[in-house]
Chain A
Amino acid sequence: AQKITQTQPGMFVQEKEAVTLDCTYDTSDQSYGLFWYKQPSSGEMIFLIYQGSYDEQNATEGRYSLNFQKARKSANLVISASQLGDSAMYFCAMRETYNQGGKLIFGQGTELSVKP
């Protein structure tokens, strides 16, 4: 069964510094997608970044980058130049193979706190 593991319940980072949020996954599928979402206290899940299993380069979106290590089954999120507004819950998720409807499987999340 597919599974996402986020081992850091909470992380602190100083404003303007970089931070890495860990995510490991387990799947026997060859084709899959990995996502990171941000959830502020308001509750909405905000899409940040996507990495496909066949993508050879690590995904980047502005200050977000995904450190994809396929052999180690890890997909860590790197946030550069942290801002106070980055304080939120962060969820790593995996999409099942296409023919199974594309539902997402989420990890338990990491709460990031950015200190001024």
Chain B
Amino acid sequence: DTGVSQDPRHKITKRGQNVTFRCDPISEHNRLYWYRQTLGQGPEFLTYFQNEAQLEKSRLLSDRFSAERPKGSFSTLEIQRTEQGDSAMYLCASRLSGQPTDTQYFGPGTRLTVL
């Protein structure tokens, strides 16, 4: 049973560039979540998918952010026209809905630095 994987692990970009991150959830998990974590803070929810449907987006997710999960498997998070304030750790988590504990399992994260 492989865990959640994320790619890349680190990304350094210049302000104004676009970046895309990928998340591969645990294979049978139908729910996939994206969180953002800035230095010294706990993760904050961005968006989540049930299968391929994006069911909720946080107000933190400005229109520069877009997420997809085209076939209900892996997901991508794209940030357009990056700003220095986008520098953070982007965490992906997955779970199987309907389980008693609803535990989310996290990937290793993608650390984004915007110069």
Q: Which residues of A contact B105 (CB under 8 A)?
A: 47
Q: Is A116 an interface residue (CB 8 A)?
A: no
Q: Who on chain B is nearest to A101 by CB?
A: B56
Q: Does any Cβ of B come within 8 Å of A37's Cβ?
A: yes
Which residues of A in the span 98-115 have a Cβ within 8 Å of any Cβ on B?
98, 100-109
Q: Contacts of A42 on B, CB cut-off 8 Å?
A: 108
Map CB proximity to A onto B38-56 as digits: 1 under 8 Å, 0 otherwise: 0011111100101000011
Q: Are B40 and A52 in contact (CB under 8 A)?
A: no
Count the A-B residue pairs with Cβ separation under 8 angstroms: how many?
Answer: 67
A105 touches B102 (CB 8 A): no
Contacting pair B108 A109 (CB below 8 A) = no
Q: Is A44 located at the chain interface by the 8 A CB criterion?
A: yes
Query: In the docked arrangement, what's the CA distance between A105 and B42, Å?
Result: 9
List residues 24-72 of chain B with CB under 8 A from any CB of chain A. 31, 33, 35, 40-45, 48, 50, 55-56
Please report the C-alpha to C-alpha distance between residue A50 and residue B101 in the assembled complex, in whole angstroms.
7
- Interface residue total, chain A, C-beta cutoff 8 A: 26
A19-75 with Cβ < 8 A to chain B? 33, 35, 37, 42-47, 50, 52
Let me know if A103 and B101 touch, CB within 8 A: no
B85 at the interface (CB under 8 A from A): no
Contact present for B33 and A103 (CB under 8 Å): yes
- When distances are taken between beta carbons in the complex, the residues of chain A under 8 Å from B41 are 108-109
Cα(A108)–Cα(B39), bound, Å? 10
Assess whether A47 is in contact with B103, with CB atoms less than 8 Å apart. yes
Interface locus among B12-20, B73-81, B88-96: B88-96
Name 6 A/B residue pairs within 8 A (Cβ), A-sorted.
Answer: A43-B108, A47-B105, A102-B48, A104-B104, A106-B43, A109-B41
Show the binding face of B for A, using Cβ within 8 Å: 31, 33, 35, 40-45, 48, 50, 55-56, 89, 91, 93, 95, 97, 100-109, 111
Binding site for B on A (CB under 8 A): 4, 33, 35, 37, 42-47, 50, 52, 91, 93, 95, 98, 100-109
